[in-house]
Structure 1
Amino acid sequence: MFGFSVFMNQDVTPSDLAQMEELAVSFDGMFTSMHIPEDDSTRYRERLGVIGAFAKRHQLSLMVDISGNALTEAGFSIDRLEELIDLGVTGLRMDYAIDNQQIAQFSKQMRIALNASTLTEKDVQELQTYGADFTQLEAWHNYYPRPETGLAEEWLQAKNRWLKEQGFYVQAFVPGDDRLRGPMYAGLPTLEDHRGMTPFAAALALQETGTVDAIYIGDGGLTRQSIQQFNDYMQQNLITLRVKAVGSAYLDTVIGLHQNRQDEARDVLRSADARFGDVSFVKPEARMPRPIGAVTIDNQAYERYMGEIQVCKNALPADPRVNVAAQVIAADLPLIQHIHAGMRFKIERDDSNE
């Protein structure tokens, strides 16, 4: 599942609610935090009420990162979790200062997220001893605001395999690309490799590991382009590749919906039906090298292959029989590797300033 974050450092504005409505189309969960040092925690209760009401209205889960002190400062009590449940909170991510005996008790009332990165065999044994309801326990990784402090992928994979062996539902964060969280404004990923990557590309990369059950946007905002990519994927099961013009007369020909052939090629995505479409004649254009992300159309020199549309997965040399019609923008290049046999993809013009 995919989820998004809404932070309580300021009142939820009509603009915030409008984006939340867009995200609720394809996302199933929300996350917020109650213990960020630079926030005014005295406003948390009111703001959590707004966020919780939205979650209930749209049937979204709502996980709240807490500490005992933050709950108290916001006017709640860790001994009265029903107050949070009534507001729409469906789960709590526990701070390290809350002991395993308390966590075991809380797990009998609602879903509880533990720190996936620091959870140990000793913790699991203690939770079992204290009678925790393991069907209510999840393992959530941190996000890392400071550059160079995110996790390594190999470490994450090894940790997740262990967590899955213990029966945990596992979550991780990817960065947003709008309204990045301060004070670093450097994205909020779990993996350092994902810092600076587009949210959708990072989410697909995590999903393909097979060891992460839930993927949340760490930052509080997504650009309209990213929201559309998530919606296309979740609602239509297709991956959108944004392209820029390279001077070809055949740009409009390659724009649109495609399906990768079932016999997946090593070097290119092959549009399954492209050369059987309406293209009656493709003139040769100037030879151009085919870097990764080059969108090509075969010209008349390729005879019966004329009109075939491809996207390069690997860099290929110039070929007089192949016209380069467009180029996938740099931000979307990582998406190409996630388009497998039989998958649908869409090529569309990039409307950003890249």
Structure 2
Amino acid sequence: MELLHEAKVDNVFIGDSEATVKTLKYINEYLQNHIITILCNLLSEYKHLYNKEINIRPDQPENIIRLLLPRKPNVGIRHNIVRHRGSIVMQNRLAARYSGEVYLVKHDLPFEARSNVIGFVSPEYVNLFDQIDADIRIKLIPIN
């Protein structure tokens, strides 16, 4: 992904004879549709976010990746813990108009009462965060 996205190369040859069909499918999905597949685990009430093509907001701060999903008013306050790199977070009602906004954490962040941790990205997929910008879509896939 890094070669394709940052170096703008046209072709990448994979020399790993043990690459899984699933991994090759994810690479092809990126090549064909600019969709990065991310394996993750979401709390049960957020499983509706799985398998959707999600756009990325054009306005991106340094520490998070803001997903372009509809906001929801009055999201309850729960699971607000330290936000580690790879956390999936939804803003709660304390965030006022940002309630329901979802983002991925690129760098460890401290506890924030306005932020509910709703899941986490599989560690081997967290480095893909460096390739995500507004021209990319993501798809969250359950870890098993």
Does the TM-score normalized on the shorter chain lie above 0.5? yes
Contact 2:92–2:116 (CA under 8 A) maintained in structure 1: yes
SS in 2 for 1:227: helix
What is aligned with 1:283? Answer: 76
Aligned with 2:26 (options 229, 232, 240):
229
Contact 1:254–1:295 (CA under 8 A) maintained in structure 2: no
Check if 1:270 corresponds to 2:66.
Answer: yes
CA distance in 1, matches of 2:133, 2:39: 18
CA distance in 2, matches of 1:243, 1:209: 24
What is aligned with 2:35? Answer: 238
What is aligned with 1:251? Answer: 46
SS in 1 for 2:82: coil
Q: Trace 1:177-326 onto structure 2 (pairs within 5 A).
A: 204-210=1-7, 212-245=9-42, 248-255=43-50, 256-275=52-71, 279=72, 281-326=74-119
What is aligned with 1:328? Answer: 121
Paired residue type of 1:271:
L
Per the alignment, do residues 209 and 252 of structure 1 end up closer, same or farther by CA in structure 2, a change over 3 Å counting? closer
Structure number having the greater strand percentage: 2
Contact 1:268–1:311 (CA under 8 A) maintained in structure 2: yes
Show CA shifts across 1:100-147 (max 9, x none).
Answer: xxxxxxxxxxxxxxxxxxxxxxxxxxxxxxxxxxxxxxxxxxxxxxxx
CA distance in 2, matches of 1:265, 1:230: 26
TM-score by length of 2: 0.86
Show CA shifts across 1:28-65 (max 9, x none).
Answer: xxxxxxxxxxxxxxxxxxxxxxxxxxxxxxxxxxxxxx
Gap regions ≥5 residues in structure 2: none
SS in 2 for 1:264: coil
Deviation of residue 222 (structure 1)? 2.1
Per the alignment, do residues 341 and 312 of structure 1 end up closer, same or farther by CA in structure 2, a change over 3 Å counting? same
Deviation of residue 249 (structure 1)? 4.7
Query: How many positions carry a matched residue from both structures?
Result: 143
SS in 2 for 1:317: coil
Deviation of residue 209 (structure 1)? 4.7
Contact 1:254–1:309 (CA under 8 A) maintained in structure 2: no
Greater than 4 Å deviation, 4+ residue runs: none
CA distance in 2, matches of 1:213, 1:344: 20
Paired residue type of 2:91:
D
Per the alignment, do residues 317 and 250 of structure 1 end up closer, same or farther by CA in structure 2, a change over 3 Å counting? farther
Structure with more relative contact order (C-alpha pairs < 8 Å, separation 6 or more): 2
Deviation of residue 331 (structure 1)? 0.9
Gap regions ≥5 residues in structure 1: 1-203
What is aligned with 1:91? Answer: none
CA distance in 2, matches of 1:253, 1:265: 26
Deviation of residue 215 (structure 1)? 1.5
Identity %: 25
Q: Give the greater-gyration-radius structure (CA).
A: 1
CA distance in 2, matches of 1:281, 1:257: 25
SS in 1 for 2:13: strand
Contact 1:261–1:342 (CA under 8 A) maintained in structure 2: no
Contact 1:244–1:327 (CA under 8 A) maintained in structure 2: yes
What's the C-alpha RMSD, in Å, of the aligned pairs?
A: 2.0
Deviation of residue 212 (structure 1)? 4.7
> Which is worse superposed, 205-214 or 257-266?
205-214
